[in-house]
């Protein structure tokens, strides 16, 4: 007799847990599809002007980045000297980032003839996925 009562209580408890779990799962999303985490890094490119810098020139480095969740931050590194040229913390934190395509510039110089520059760009999207551009090398001409 005792075994049957415990078995019935166990079954009632199990059914109750299943029903509660089912109610939580169906009410959590109000019919919306579950959100898939963003794992796709942004696309990032770097360019410079003038393309063939000469002695005494200043060079403008330009970063272009885009991402479907918004861009959080862009940085340009020149000879391992990194500088943030764009940041949108508030838009990403509030989920209202409208910055899907972003451009920023960094001007440096003047550079001397024969000086070698190595530079690249980094971008982070609102989900903290990171991307790097290809590293570029440039030698200042006469």
Closest CA to 123 of 81, 78, 70: 70
Q: What percent of the chain has pLDDT over 90?
A: 58
Q: Are strands 116-125 and 71-78 parallel, antiparallel or unpaired?
A: antiparallel
pLDDT tens readout for residues 62-119: 999 999 888 999 999 999 999 999 998 877 776 665 558 899 999 999 999 999 999 9
Q: Which CATH superfamily is domain 43-139 in?
A: Immunoglobulins (2.60.40.10)
| DSSP-based three-state secondary structure for 76 | strand
**Is the pLDDT higher at 25 or at 84?**
84
Report the candidate in 124, 128, 129 with the shortest Cα–Cα distance to residue 73. 124
Task: Please choose, from the candidates 123, 107, 6, the residue with its C-alpha nearest in 3D space to the C-alpha of residue 53.
Answer: 107
Domain boundaries, the chain: 1-35, 43-139
When pLDDT is averaged across residues 30-40 and rounded to a whole number, the result is: 73
Query: What are 33's two structure tokens?
Result: 């599809």
């Amino acid at each position: 007799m005792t075994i049957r009562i415990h078995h019935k209580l166990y079954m009632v408890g199990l059914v109750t847990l299943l029903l509660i779990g089912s109610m939580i799962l169906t009410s959590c999303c109000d019919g919306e599809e579950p959100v898939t985490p963003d794992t796709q890094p942004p696309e990032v490119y770097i360019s410079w002007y003038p393309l063939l810098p000469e002695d005494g020139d200043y060079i403008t480095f330009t970063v272009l980045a885009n991402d479907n969740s918004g861009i959080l931050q862009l940085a340009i590194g020149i000879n391992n000297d990194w500088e943030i040229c764009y940041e949108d913390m508030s838009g990403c934190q509030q989920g209202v980032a409208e910055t899907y395509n972003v451009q920023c510039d960094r001007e440096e110089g003047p550079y001397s003839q024969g000086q070698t520059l190595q530079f690249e760009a980094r971008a982070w999207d609102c989900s903290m996925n990171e991307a790097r551009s290809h590293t570029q090398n440039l030698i200042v001409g006469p």
